[in-house]
Chains A and B, each alone.
Chain A
Amino acid sequence: MPKATFRIWRGERGDGAWVDFETEVSEGMVVLDAVHDIQAEQAADLAVRWNCKAGKCGSCSAEINGMPRLMCMTRLDTLPLDEPVTIEPMKAFPHVRDLVTDVSWNYEVKKRIKPFKPRPPDAADGTWRMAQEDVERVQEFRKCIECFLCQDVCHVLRDHHKHDSFIGPRFLVHTAGLEMHPLDTEDRLADLKEKQGIGYCNITKCCTKVCPEHITITDNAIIPLKERVVDEFYDPIAKLFRIFRPKKTE
């Protein structure tokens, strides 16, 4: 069987070095398979997160040849194997060990976003009615597998480290999913502007490019949210209009 070289970043808490591993490559293999083979044959203590191996859980995020990707969905036959394949941890989060980073910040951010608050049920039996067309828009946002690759690539977090004042694309998607939920009645616009730093996003669209779920993060989630914030805080006429028009029928 042909062999390929995998150049993996190994180390703890930011201290580390590239280590080369050579392993056999067979048809259909993905990067995560190679990492598992290396674990089984050469480095039992290699640290890596994974669960589903099918692009459904968002655990195996890493940077492969410099690109933020899921290891389980990156086929080796899409990479040049005549040179080493580099695999390194995400950069926007504190390093733990080898390919594993500390993503706990993301869980803290989510807790601070106001939860879902539905309108009273539509029917006597406590259920609601929603049209398929209306749910489809939020279903796109709800596809998110929380791989945090969009967070990793966003320059506001990656280069400018604004973790204290900007929630990042993942949580703008989350907020859009709540704000555009046909049943939701909560108002999150003030938080978006004041606490969650939506203004930091300058629509570079890098996040959309890396999203493995193909969520149109910028066009469908961030831009509409930005427009709502503008309507609410900078455009008195639109705001007046809002008062007369219930939030969720637009």
Chain B
Amino acid sequence: MDRYTTHEHDVLVIGAGGAGLRAAIEASAADVNVGLVCKSLLGKAHTVMAEGGVAAALANVDDRDNWRVHFSDTMRGGQYLNNWRMAELHAREAPDRVRELEAWGAVMDRTKDGKILQRNFGGHKYPRLAHVGDRTGLEMIRTLQDHGIHRGITVHMEATVFRLLKDGDRVVGAFGYDREHGRFLLYRAKAVVLATGGIGRAYSVTSNSWEYTGDGHGLAYDAGADLVDMEFVQFHPTGMVWPPSVRGILVTEGVRGEGGILKNKDGRRFMFDDIPDLYKDQTADTPEEGWRYVTGDKDARRPPELLTRDHVARCIVREVKAGRGSPHGGVFLDIAWIREKIRDSEAHIRKKLPSMYHQFKELAGVDITTQPMEVGPTTHYVMGGIRVDGDTQMSTVPGLFAAGECAAGLHGANRLGGNSLSDLLVFGKRAGEHAAAWAKDHDAGTVGEDQATDAMRACLAPLERDGNGENPHALQRHLQTMMQDHVGIVRNERDMTHAVEQLADFRARAAVVAAPGSRQYNGGWHTCLDLPNLLTVSEAVARSALDRTESRGAHFREDHPAKDPSLAGHNTVVRRASDGTMEVSRLPIPALREDLKAIIAEMG
């Protein structure tokens, strides 16, 4: 049998996006030995792609803002399925976490009096997103990376964790391989933090990169942890739709925050046609009022384009289905129109949305300062994930922590834009802190040799088939199409039941995929090893979505198009049953604390 190299750490952080980096920095501040593993090079994680901003009630632009408003906005956006303790901690702590970035060198856009500037975003009552043009994620990840590399953290780049290792009930390490040489690695750790991001690669139209195969979700599930809220997958309303090769690439909500409007092929601003009751009081009555809002008039209410993402995405689907879409099956997003309102609008747009300008110019040949963009929904974010304790971020498995997109709770049924970057900072820090504390209280545990041998055997199998099996890239593409068609934005029982059946087939096919070639940087082999996780999350989404026989937040069932009040009181949980099958159950949501209840009542 093959050999492996062993590394020992007190805390092992898996994932080097915003959440993982922040966790690693915090753990190393507690004076424990920290290892950080990531599949790509450092600084290339998904966080780098975030555009619009990071939400925090700094109240630099509108002094009426405070954590209580942010808390209530987050809960309303999540349709009250959120873990309210997380929503509270997030709203309270985000401002300090953002200011801390500045102390570490981040350079965010400024207000006239020299403070951090904040912009409008969907579902946030006041301008709340600190940002740098439309490349906020780059600023954030680079700041954390440049700070982190001087903190004595051991970074294992381009290494993929394949399995978690256990001693009895407890997680005590991880097994993986380095992508460059294909050599095996065994990490022993007293505590493990998962910060692996999302699952978008389960769908064919997505804003997510190859990394988003739901590894953290799959690893945790296999180790016996609960996953929660997996039916809630966010389809961002505005992805690129044309040309085909860029379909799915994100168009930031910042475009709408800066005054961009949505129109159908007849030029109608269709978002005014359907405004949900929950938001009637907060939404502008006229285009004129909407424009006043985006230009900072505190008495105006926000335009309907800035309603929550789930709603905007469904309105777009409705227009397209009714035959009122754009030529390539989307609708029009127009920022160029602001030339009617402001002088020198072209320079203004290029300044506020530089990477959008660049992206459309280079990839679609469209000049957004003079022409409308064509946009449509794209798979963007998963609200569901590893179930964690709100204060410590520990999962239901001892010694295993999770933070960032792979953890669940903060966002409930729908995430507000900007609340992810702040989530990474707030809960990345908490996970790092509590993982370090756990590591100080526990010994290293023991890892049975059989766990390593077994993992190595599973890793090598696709290579040993010598190319006699299905191409893993092709299999992945089929799976994505199946999920897009059957468990996408608009769902029903028949399609999803069919999906669950198909997934069993896919599992059988994935068990015999083959990767030709050597172990050196072999993308085909790596894809073979990612497939099991992708299948786990696909099944978790489909089964959870079947169980929730109503429409709520990002989860829309055409066979149950209304909200069902009797389903408002629980989260959907999946876990691995003793016979290896996936078990779905309903977990009641604990009663809201009185003071938090009062805040929600007060904010209306």
Contact = CB atoms under 8 A, between A and B. Distances in A.
Nearest to B114: A129
Nearest to B117: A132
Contacts of B109: 132, 135
Contact of B473 (A44, A73, A129): A44
A56 interface: yes
Given A30-B245, A52-B48, A116-B146, A139 B362 contact: no
B41 A44 contact: no
B249 interface: yes
Interface string B68-107: 0000000000000000000000000000000100111101
Contacts of A75: 362-363
B359 interface: yes
A181 B243 contact: no
A110 B146 CA distance: 8
Nearest to A178: B105
Given A44-B517, A138-B107, A73 B362 contact: yes
A80 interface: no
Interface residues of B, number: 66
Interface residues of A, number: 61
Nearest to B514: A44
B521 interface: yes
Contacts of A29: 243, 245
Given A27-B243, A181-B107, A51 B40 contact: yes
A46 B142 CA distance: 29
A143 interface: yes
Contacts of A48: 523
A44 B244 contact: no
Contact of A45 (B103, B115, B516): B516
Interface string B396-415: 00000000000000000000
Contacts of B146: 110, 115-116
A44 B209 CA distance: 18
Interface string A80-102: 00000000000000001110101
27 contacts: A28-B363, A30-B363, A40-B473, A45-B516, A46-B524, A47-B522, A51-B44, A51-B210, A54-B246, A55-B362, A56-B355, A57-B40, A59-B40, A59-B41, A59-B44, A75-B363, A96-B521, A107-B42, A110-B149, A111-B150, A121-B103, A127-B102, A139-B132, A142-B107, A142-B132, A143-B135, A145-B138
Interface of A: 12, 26-30, 33, 36, 39-41, 44-59, 73, 75, 96-98, 100, 102-104, 107, 110-111, 115-116, 118, 121, 126-132, 135, 138-139, 142-143, 145-146, 178, 181, 183-184
Given A40-B473, A44-B473, A56-B49, 6 more contacts: A28-B243, A44-B472, A54-B363, A55-B359, A135-B110, A139-B132
